[in-house]
């Protein structure tokens, strides 16, 4: 019989061996305007994504919003939508697969060569009822992703790796 190793909560929270992938990029040029879908975008240090309304001001903790690709079918199922929810309805900037975004909250991580800091949870807004129908708000609760700040900017491209730095 082998002895089991005990891990501290701190060790468990900092162990993220998975490498994710950037699957989708969307910009919100103005309040309530249709989203612009891109293959590549410039992430501006301490601002946001070039062309997104969040990049109009410096600073803040909500420069980029990210959602888990694996949660899209769950949101769709909870709303009675077949297959997968249209990402632009959720108004998030980036869709990432293969790595647990909640584990990146309060951590520094890379998407391609861009350094981000996970700053908080991205809670749904009341527009989810408009976009997804009755119950849309509750369908997104717990599945809304995270917000992030851009520490070191650069180009983001679909297919870029997503990995924990620290």
Domains, the chain, in order of start with CATH, read 19-164 (2.40.33.20)
Residue pLDDT, tens place only, 60-118: 999 999 999 999 999 999 988 877 788 899 999 999 999 999 999 999 999 999 999 99
CB atoms within 10 A of CB 59: 8
Q: What residues contact 164, with CB distance under 8 A and at least 6 apart?
A: 16, 99, 103, 104, 107, 108, 109
Rounded to an integer, what distance in angstroms lies between the CA atom of residue 59 and that of residue 156? 19
Q: By three-state DSSP, how is residue 111 classified?
A: strand
Whether residue 1 has pLDDT greater than 60 = no
Q: Is the dihedral of CA 92, 142, 114, 163 positive or negative?
A: negative
Q: What residues contact 126, with CB distance under 8 A and at least 6 apart?
A: 137
Q: What residues contact 12, with CB distance under 8 A and at least 6 apart?
A: none
Residue pLDDT, tens place only, 21-62: 999 999 999 988 999 999 999 999 999 999 999 888 899 999
Taking the complete model, does pTM exceed 0.75, yes or no? yes
* The pLDDT of residue 157: 98
For the segment 136-153, the average pLDDT, to the nearest whole number, is: 94
In the numeric block, which tokens belong to residue 29?
């040029």
Q: Which residue has the tokens 């903790």?
A: 61
* The pLDDT of residue 148: 98
Residue pLDDT, tens place only, 85-100: 888 999 999 999 999 9
Q: Closest Cα to residue 162, out of 96, 87, 117, 92?
A: 96
* Confidence bin at 7 (pLDDT 50/70/90): confident
């Amino acid at each position: 019989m082998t002895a089991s190793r005990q891990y501290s909560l701190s060790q468990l929270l900092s162990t993220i061996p998975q490498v994710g992938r950037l699957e989708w990029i969307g910009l919100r040029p103005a309040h309530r305007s249709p989203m612009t879908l891109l293959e590549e975008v410039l992430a501006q240090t301490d601002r946001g994504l070039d062309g997104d309304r969040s990049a109009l001001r410096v600073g803040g903790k909500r420069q980029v919003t990210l959602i888990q690709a694996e949660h899209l079918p769950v949101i769709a199922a909870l709303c009675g939508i077949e297959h997968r929810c249209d990402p632009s309805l959720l108004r998030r900037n980036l869709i990432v697969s293969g790595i647990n975004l909640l584990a990146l909250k309060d951590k520094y991580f890379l998407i391609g060569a861009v350094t981000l800091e996970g700053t908080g949870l991205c809670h749904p807004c009341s527009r989810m009822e408009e976009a997804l129908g009755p119950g849309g708000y509750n369908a997104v609760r717990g599945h809304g992703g995270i917000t992030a700040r851009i520490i070191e900017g650069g180009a983001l491209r679909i297919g870029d790796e997503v990995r924990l730095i620290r």
